[in-house]
Amino acid sequence: MRNFIFFLLFLIPLGCCGQEIKYTQQAADSFKIKPLNEENLYKFKRILELNKGLLGWTKYHAYLGYRKMVLKEHDSAQFYAKKAIDFYTKLNPIYPNEEKSLVHAYFTLGYIARLEERYVESTTNMLKGLEIADKYNIALKTYITSAIASNNLSLGNNEKALFFFLKNLRDTLFIKSAQAEITTLTKIGVLYLDGYLNKPDSAKFYLKKALKRSHSTEYKNNLPYIHGNLADYFRGKNEDSTLYYYKQSKVAFEKFVLDKNSSPDNSDLYQMINNSYVDIYENQISQAVKDLKFVINNLRNNVENKNDRDILRTAYDNLVLAYEKSNNFKAATVLLKEKQVFEVEFLQIQLTQQLEKLELEFETKKKEEEIRSLKQEAETTATILQQQRIIGYSAVGGGLLLLGIGWLFYKQKRLNEKFKLVSLEQRLLRSQMNPHFLFNALTTAALLIDEKAEKAKTYIVKLAKLLRLTLENSREDFVSLDNEIEAFTSYLQLESDFSEKFDYHITIDVNLETEYITIPPMLIQPFLENAVLHGIGNSKSRGDIKISIKKATSDTVVCTITDNGVGVAPKMNSNTGNHESLSLKIVQERLALYHKSNETLVSLKNLKEIDPNLNGTQIVFSIPFYTL
């Protein structure tokens, strides 16, 4: 009754003695659609309808779309969110109050895209929303960064995901919500597990913290995943703890409430593989095999993201374990080969997606550059016309000054173009593996499968790890020094395994916190490839490569690579046109750009110049870094 009376009071001013009140823009701007319900949305709509000249339709449709998203009416939500964006794009000039409301429109589109596993699209919309949220300091931004972090986790962009999760964890307002804090702690724990960032101690720390927080609050929905991931941490280390946590995961899942707006997809399949591990060790092999085959059949032909890949990978591992426990080694061997095929197929999907992403980014940047160039040309033309009027009344010195300014603009534009070209070349270069190396590695793997099956399994795991690291690093502008060391160590392990003609030694400065230092990726490996292929590769004696990484200044490290090969050629340039010389040239150009210097930043010497009794090459170069 009270609401009805209030509604009548609201309508009375709208029409009195046949006259309608026309609201001002200030009234529309100051109207708060709080709480966000149908009644308040209708009131705001009436204000806009009574004065066709008012701005506010972007705000109305953005909030209406957000409301529909909360009500899980996703088709309507997307329709109104897109309508809000369409209204805003037609505004000229832009209006801040309308721009603010776009945060809700982009969040709505990004949120629904994430639920439907369209992670790239979701991230694109969330980033647009984040830009506006940062501009106007809108509280929704922490939930946007949380979604961006989750998308990057699903896409395999581990470093970016960790960056955003840790950022949210430092936001005191965000972690006031027990659900937000526990979910974030859990996902950080997952990121540190093997197969991701491979920091098991950190994984255990964050998962235990999430578990403790869950027990002290009413939010329990994350418990199946916390227990399941703790079991994964102990797997292969402590069987009793592994079984304990899988059993706890099963108990917690019985109280689990599925929420389609927040719960991970395939949660039932995830729990099924956790339960199967317990069944295997309780001799319920037939039940475990039945469940695991069900999981594999449901996911095998529909894996496009890392979440589903991890579920399927664990299902394969558990089914192999079940066959081994029942002494069915033939079936276990067949399944291992099927798993290897799946891993290769998934890598190919990721590689294809990465290439498509690179092409799209390239085309987008081209279009943006064309638009920017046209705008700059128009602005320059207007400036020149104005300057021509001034020149008529100015001294010759003013004309010379104008020419000097024009030359500086031209030089700056050329430098920008060069930077973009080198950056694109490097991104394309680091997205591919050396074909010669990959051919040798796959040939070796094929031979080992027939001759030494156990060694083949280890070898293929190492190769898959290197491919994964190369793929992930190719997406990032900066990676942790730990990650970079792991990548080039994997490369050296594989090269040394199949050539069996060289040793390698890695020395890291104890003062470097490699986990928290981030550097540009793929700067060290090209020099190592050169040392392996052209240094010790052409030497008759057993090869030896030494890598040393030391802290030089507060923001640079120095890397020294020494080999005992044939020594460097008189000139190292790209005139030969081969892949190695091109990669080295691009690395040097990248270093120059990062250091903002035209000086030679790579010192390359024959060891005979240092000591006549020594053979080989020494490369010394500095790499800039920043600390997380």
Correct CATH for 23-176 of 3.40.50.620, 1.25.40.10, 1.20.120.1200, 3.30.1330.10: 1.25.40.10
Per residue in 28-41, pLDDT (tens digit) is 888 888 899 999 99
Q: Report the pLDDT averaged over residues 334-350.
A: 74
User: Is the predicted pLDDT of residue 230 greater than 90, yes or no?
Assistant: yes
Q: What percent of the chain has pLDDT over 70?
A: 72
CB 265 within 8 A of CB 307: yes
Which region, left, alpha or beta, applies to residue 394 given φ > 0 means left and ψ of -120 to 50 means alpha? beta
Cα–Cα separations (whole angstroms), residue 555 to 471, 550, 595, 619, 621? 26, 12, 11, 20, 14
pLDDT at 486 (0 to 100): 86
CB 352 within 8 A of CB 304: no
Residue with tokens 């008012």: 54
Q: Report the pLDDT averaged over residues 468-490.
A: 78
Predicted confidence band at 10 (pLDDT cuts at 50, 70, 90)? very low
Q: Which of 201-215, 400-414, 486-500 has the lowest mean pLDDT?
A: 400-414
Domain parsing of the chain, residue ranges: 23-176, 474-627
Q: Which of 28-42, 248-262, 535-549, 578-592 has the lowest mean pLDDT?
A: 578-592
Give the SS3 label for residue 540.
coil
Q: Report the pLDDT averaged over residues 322-335.
A: 85
pLDDT at 28 (0 to 100): 86
CB 160 within 8 A of CB 476: yes
CA–CA separation, 16 and 547 (whole Å): 85
> Is the pTM of the predicted complex or chain greater than 0.75?
no
pLDDT at 128 (0 to 100): 92
Superfamily of domain 474-627: Histidine kinase-like ATPase, C-terminal domain (3.30.565.10)
User: Is the predicted pLDDT of residue 584 greater than 60, yes or no?
Assistant: yes
CA–CA separation, 27 and 321 (whole Å): 68
pLDDT higher at 294 or 332: 294
Instruction: Give me the chain's average pLDDT, please.
Output: 78
CB within 8 Å of 532: residues ≥ 6 apart: 492, 495, 499, 502, 543, 545
Q: Which of 32-41, 293-302, 502-511 has the lowest mean pLDDT?
A: 293-302
